[in-house]
Amino acid sequence: MRVVIAGAGSVGRSIARELLYNNHQVLLIDKAANEVSIRRVPEANWLAADACEIDALNEAGLADCDVVVAATGDDKVNLVVSLLAKTEFGVPRTVARVNNPKNDWMFDEAWGVDVAVSTPRLMTALVEEAVTVGDLVRIFEFRKGRATMVEMTLPGDSPHVGERVGDVPFPQDTVLVGIIRDQIPIAPSPDDSLEAHDELLFLTTPDAEEELEQMLSPTARVKRPREL
């Protein structure tokens, strides 16, 4: 997979390192790119340019890339890069960083954003996930597909403790995609059983969240993101 990342700050470089580690091709675009920054991620390709300029994106070869990541510290830049990637180059997938949660509402298909990542919101969700048992926590929202990723630590008094995954009547459009048990990830099969204090990861829809939570933990309340 070929990925172009706009913004080579700490966030952009971290993403680049992870993608390179997983054998993807990475190009970093940053108008402040210099020898010092390039040495921090020498395995990546670099382009010293303004990612908001069409000529720079042409030079970066956006028409031939699979994913564009807008990871700068400026929300205006991230929106412009995402929009240009979609409308001018037809990039299949765009991921944009949201720096200010107040701008979260703009990061949608209208601006060419497939996936928006709000660091403050994600950190809040992870904090809630770390301290709650039996409450559904929304970890991530896939805007284009109107789907969410949610997590629950299964309480010991759940009516489904001990049941086979294949026998649990999950709500419509809900898929159990992972179980973390004793810090070990498990790809669930229909024959796996649910155990108390399993961390369950689901792909679902906003409309199904409350039903999912109530069936697994009848005394819990849904923890949805605040409207900012």
Domain spanning 2-113: which CATH class is it, in words? alpha beta
Architecture of 122-216 per CATH?
2-Layer Sandwich (3.30)
- The CA distance from 91 to 68, in Å, is 7
- The CA distance from 33 to 87, in Å, is 26
Q: What share of the chain is helix, strand, coil (3-state, %, to 5)?
A: 35, 25, 40
Tokens for 51? Answer: 């990612």
Domain boundaries, the chain: 2-113, 122-216
Q: Are 109 and 78 in contact (CB under 8 A)?
A: no
Alpha carbons within 13 angstroms on the beta-carbon side of residue 216 total 34
**Tens of pLDDT, residue by residue, the chain (228 residues):** 999 999 998 889 988 998 998 889 999 999 999 898 899 999 999 999 999 999 999 999 999 999 999 999 999 999 999 999 999 999 999 999 998 888 988 999 999 999 888 765 655 555 555 546 777 877 777 765 578 888 888 988 899 999 999 999 999 999 999 998 988 889 999 999 999 989 899 999 988 998 999 999 887 554 443 332
- The CA distance from 225 to 228, in Å, is 9
- The CA distance from 175 to 203, in Å, is 5
